[in-house]
Amino acid sequence: MCPFLLHWMLEVTCFGSPVIAFSVLLCLAIIVVWCSLVYGASIMQDKDLRMYSPAESRTSRHLPCSHKLCQLGPSCKSPKQPCPYNINYYSENTSSSGLLVEDTLYLASSDGRTSVQASVIIGCGRRQSGDYLDGVAPDGLLGLGFGDISVPSFLAWAGLVRDSFSMCFQEDDSGRIFFGDQGVSTQQSTPFVPANGKYITYIVEVERFCIGAKCVGETSMQALVDSGSSFTYLPNDAYKRVTLEFDRQVNYSRYAFLGYPWEYCYKASPLELPDIPTVALMFAVNKSFVVTNPLFLINGKEGELTGFCLAVNSSEENLATIGQNFMTGHHMVFDRENSKLGWSRSDCRDIDTSIPVTTPPHNRPENPLPTNEQQSNPNGHAVAPAVAGKAPNTMDSSAASPSKVVSHFCLFLLLTQFAVIFVG
């Protein structure tokens, strides 16, 4: 189960142009698109719903129960029948179920003149429940976890990009995803922590929490880095110590705003933004992650600023969750190849120019969906490619000469009558 069902939507963009609102979970390892209307979802009534019909996609086919990637295969009546899936969340009564489908991702380079294809597995959602009925993911989910069935794993296995990806969130909640991106040389990093000897999701070790110039004692913890959570959650003991220190340093009056879930909220002047102490997470070797904006601003009826809250919640779990609000303003790099999390300050508009270029391999083979045998590698992870690949240019036959290409692509998920675009 994913620990939290997301309550925000990443508007994925391709070099500045927003295309589709897609929900992103780092603990989920599968693309899930809706193949039937989510009845009862009142929030969706004014949305342009984008349904996926495998029958109308020329490149789709059902994944059989006999395939190694079909986890529910043993429960099938026949090895040839379509493979079912079922995903449950900790959010009350929230789930998605349907069938697994193989389809094709079409990737384009930043100049738009080259293209690459990659076969992936998609969860074709037939039945949704719980929070999905409130419209938390109108277009579906993009899972980026460690599993063999996730998009980063397929792209890396096919030799298209390095086994890494990055995300960048802007203040307006839009964002960008780069597949194959391993970040910049000046970024800081900290290793991922395995769970029971395996890398299942993106967990890091936080040594301490710092408010202003004071680092709070007894705030070491393991934390799940997950864009699927809008806000950040801390274990109860650490939460109390952090929030009390924040409250001690803030020169504003506490105030309980009706309808907001946070404990530490304050009145503010409508004429200026709140002046608060810095909030930072400290990792090994004194590497610091400074949160650009840990606040949730509260506006009045006329749009004026009336107050703010420290957007951190307490949790009964021992595992903290670093949510999307703490990641905003950073270029977050999930380097699966080297098992580490990287970060650097960014406004998300400066990433295109900082992406390194690599020379593609010669005579790269076609990349169909991995077979059962090919999936059975010793480590159970995708094979990390050395460089990105380059496909023949279908738009301009004169572009066949070898040249350096950016190893990050805009991903075009060609489904029925629409394209989902990711930056990678």
Mean pLDDT score of the chain: 75
* DSSP alpha helix (H) spans, 67-118: none
Q: Do 29 and 66 fall into the same domain?
A: yes
Q: Residue 375 and residue 370: Cα distance in Å, rounded?
A: 6
Looking at the DSSP bridge assignments, the partners of residue 168 are: 176, 331
240: pLDDT confidence band, cut at 50, 70 and 90? Answer: very high
Note the pLDDT tens digit of each residue in 23-66: 566 666 677 777 765 544 444 444 555 577 888 888 999 999 99
Higher pLDDT, 126 or 266: 266
Q: Residue 167 and residue 341: Cα distance in Å, rounded?
A: 11
Give the count of domains, the chain: 2
What is the domain range of residue 131?
Answer: 10-160
Q: Do 250 and 310 fall into the same domain?
A: yes
pLDDT at 77: 95
Note the pLDDT tens digit of each residue in 74-111: 999 999 999 999 988 766 678 889 999 999 877 656 55
By three-state DSSP, how is residue 279 classified?
Answer: strand
Q: Residue 312 and residue 320: Cα distance in Å, rounded?
A: 11
Q: Do 119 and 79 fall into the same domain?
A: yes
Higher pLDDT, 38 or 212: 212
Q: Residue 16 and residue 34: Cα distance in Å, rounded?
A: 26
Q: Residue 280 and residue 215: Cα distance in Å, rounded?
A: 9
Q: Do 116 and 227 fall into the same domain?
A: no
Mean pLDDT of 223-252: 95
Q: Do 156 and 194 fall into the same domain?
A: no
Note the pLDDT tens digit of each residue in 152-185: 999 898 888 899 999 998 888 778 888 888 999 9
Question: Which of 345, 361, 395 marks a domain boundary?
Answer: 345
Tokens found for residue 173: 């909640």
Question: Which of 328, 345, 362 marks a domain boundary?
Answer: 345
* Cα 248–chain centre separation: 34
pTM for this prediction = 0.77
164 and 334 Cβ atoms separated by less than 8 Å: yes
pLDDT at 378: 30
Is residue 101 assigned to a domain?
yes
Q: Do 79 and 212 fall into the same domain?
A: no
Looking at the DSSP bridge assignments, the partners of residue 204 are: 192, 223
Burial 101-130 (b: 16+ CB within 10 A, else e): bbbbbbbbbbeeebbbbbbbbbbbbeebbb
CATH number for the domain harbouring residue 85: 2.40.70.10
119 and 369 Cβ atoms separated by less than 8 Å: yes
Q: Does residue 387 carry a pLDDT above 70?
A: no
CA distances in angstroms from 146 to 165, 336, 343, listed in the order given: 12, 8, 19
Q: Do 130 and 242 fall into the same domain?
A: no
Q: Do 213 and 331 fall into the same domain?
A: yes
Here the contacts of 80-87 (C-beta below 8 Å, separation 24 or greater) are 85/30, 85/123, 87/2, 87/28, 87/30, 87/32, 87/123
Higher pLDDT, 389 or 312: 312
Q: Do 144 and 235 fall into the same domain?
A: no
**Quick one: which H or E segment has residue 102?**
strand 95-108
410 and 108 Cβ atoms separated by less than 8 Å: yes
Q: Do 113 and 214 fall into the same domain?
A: no
Mean pLDDT of 6-26: 39
Q: Does residue 388 carry a pLDDT above 50?
A: no
* Cα 163–chain centre separation: 15
Counting Cβ atoms within 10 Å, is residue 353 exposed (0-12), middle (13-18) or buried (19+)?
Answer: exposed
Q: Does residue 290 carry a pLDDT above 50?
A: yes
